[in-house]
Chains A and B, each alone.
Chain A
């Protein structure tokens, strides 16, 4: 199943490129850890986007050259980053005022599960042995204007991630606006999940077969 998807869908860097195309010039953007970080590499020519990292930097730049790493200049994933000219540093309460106060335009996050009404689960599988860790995810989805999810369409074992109702503990209820996967781009609307774009070689019926929640054609 997984091999099928590798053949017919987009690669994740192509998905990241799709996300970057949908972020307008002048936006303030927070990227989650992992796959969402790829988005920063695809800002279209002529657009200026400012990246916020919740540990206190607005104007986050790319990773530093080897040998230039500064342990006191990191992103929310604790990776070394740089600060662009015009960047600023601030403390955590200010950083989350930017988030909860509605000042950040877009947040791109990963997901464990997404429900058909836009509920997101991305912080815990709820397994008793797992150490629960939430970070800033709940604040981000509560305060950022547009929440984009970027994710593989199914889990590593081929199970649907876009489902009727999340079984994992929620990060937030009715929060996701758009889902970008290796198979499709899907809008979460008041009218349900509407497929906006299919990846090359993916039919609507195939997409539906990989999705537990009911999809609608545009």
Chain B
């Protein structure tokens, strides 16, 4: 019998090891698996390389993971935002590495990693500092930059609905990086707002096929990150 549903957040993330590459879904707070991240803070794995579009807000979620000195390097497209305080400070002090990637290149590198494509050419970043030192090639008279696929040891993803096979549905713009990050990790760990019986999700509308998911944990009422930030909450509580 296949049952990817695990009983607890702790069980879901307990094998994340020091030095792991971890993808974390979300665009700002939308789609950020805050409960899985907080459990990873409790768990304590360090020297992580984190792939995520942003670097978190306030002192909760991804920002708290960074503040707890568990992240050695961030691979992202937009490491600052209105409420991001933690990353800028560590970056200025030289305490965290940054690999800055154009957002579409980041998405395609993750997709390629998941799809067995080691590298690809893209027009984004040609003639800019972000293409410096990278191989370029001309196709049909236009210049392109070689970018490499990314694979992760673990992906932490938030979704709306899951079944025990790991088939997933998302909610609105919280989908963002979730489906491609599910594809690109050796172990994909998903927190789902609801878990339904097999067959309850119409096969025609499954967004992430279960083959890309290894573990599902039920988090029925995930925290609202912007509220926690507005209240200046800090994790660990």
Contact = CB atoms under 8 A, between A and B. Distances in A.
A72 B31 contact: yes
A172 B28 CA distance: 25
A71 B225 contact: yes
Interface residues of B, number: 52
Contacts, number: 142
A198 to B, nearest CB: 32
B30 A71 contact: yes
B103 A134 contact: yes
Given A72-B31, A129-B92, A143-B123, A134 B78 contact: yes
Given A72-B31, A74-B173, A92-B180, A139 B103 contact: yes
Interface in B34-52: none
B116 interface: no
Interface string A99-134: 110000000000000000000000000000101111
B78 to A, nearest CB: 5
A36 interface: no
- Secondary structure of the A contact surface, majority rule: loop
A90 interface: yes
Contacts of B82: 78
A171 interface: yes
B110 A139 contact: no
B173 A135 contact: no
Interface stretch (A53-61, A178-186, A208-216): A53-61
Contacts of A17: none
Contact of B174 (A72, A171, A172): A72
